[in-house]
Amino acid sequence: MTPPASPFTPRPAAGAPVSLCERQPQVPADRLVAELVPPPRFDAVRFDTYRPDPDQPGQTEAVGVLEGFAAGLGAAPAAKRGWFRKQSAAPAGPGGVYLDGGYGVGKTHLLASVWHAAPVPREAKAFGTFVELTNLVGALGFQQAVTALSGLRLLCIDEFELDDPGDTVLVSSLLGRLADAGVKLAATSNTLPGKLGEGRFAAADFMREIQGLSARFRPLRIDGQDYRHRGLPEAPVPFSDERVEESALRCEGAALDDFGALLAHLARVHPSRYGALCDGVEAVFLRGVTPVTDQATALRLVVLADRLYDREVPVMASGVPFGEVFSAEMLAGGYRKKYFRAISRLTALAREAKGL
């Protein structure tokens, strides 16, 4: 039997860094479905490993509510509609939970904990980001995506996007069909940084955008500081090009690229394949990080940052600090929550790269 073709260029001899720019991953639709599980960074998290901020009692309250929600998934599911029987009545109470709060307060940790704690078979629950869900619908088509997911008991959606009306309505329609099929839903999203402290702004947006689904969700407010940087030293100063190259040569499983070339390559790879782009990479080394001025390019960088963070891939770079990658105008615009999240995650990955 002929072995399947590699999704990317074979890795050079041990010790030589690869280039992400040379990879052209091909991801079949069935892999998109199979990978709807918590990413490596959140594979071992549980409710009892979450560390609530003592100054934010809402975090502790949310843990209790979510533990109860997850435990309730062990009840027998409602009967499905058949040719000669009616749909069983839906259980009382909301069929989903929504975590509303800023970036870095542990919402993904809690969402993954719901997935892990749910007492249902692994194949009966799924976990993915909003972007991954829209990519799945794009790859399978709407009706096939409904069919593929309607047998689940639980679907967890991380980083529900409120800034793309088209995708929001698409996913809302999908969730409506799944909820009607008895699938329980859990979701997170980010309060916009400029709206922190203004009550349930993000929750109100979420409930409006998901329209008829709002009655099925119980919103939980989670405030607090970004845990990725709480009590930690400042972000590391970028290294020189020479230091980045030398470190890449010494690091097994390294990928070494010029920042500008990588950004150009991302435009030629669908965002649903950015995870596959990082397959086998243990650390990313970037030369010449510069501010990004194009919105589309910036949004692709956000997706790559998410995939690297999910996979715990440290990033060592030269050039400007990651806090200066996005312009002040971008950080004040409609996609600012994504950019602040990317800065937070890239800074954390840069801190993790200091040991390299």
Span 99-150, pLDDT tens digits: 887 767 889 999 999 999 999 999 999 999 888 888 889 888 999 999 999 9
Q: Read off the pTM.
A: 0.74
Write out pLDDT tens, residues 224-260. 766 555 545 566 789 999 999 999 999 999 999 999 9
- Residue 207 has a pLDDT of 61
Spans of all domains in the chain: 20-26+230-355, 35-78+89-222
Could you tell me which CATH number the domain at 35-78+89-222 has?
Answer: 3.40.50.300
How far apart CA 273 and CA 278 sit, in angstroms, is: 9
Listed in order, strand segments (DSSP E) in the chain are 96-101, 125-129, 154-158, 184-190, 217-222, 254-258, 283-289, 315-319
pLDDT band with cut points at 50, 70 and 90 for residue 9: very low
Q: Give the pLDDT band (50/70/90) at residue 341.
A: confident
Positive or negative torsion for Cα 119, 121, 122, 124: negative
Beta strands in 307-349 (DSSP E): 315-319
Q: What is the per-residue pLDDT for 332?
A: 86
Q: What is the mean pLDDT of the chain?
A: 82
Kindly tell me the number of DSSP H helices and DSSP E strands found in the chain: 13, 8
Whether 356 and 283 have beta carbons less than 8 Å apart is answered as yes
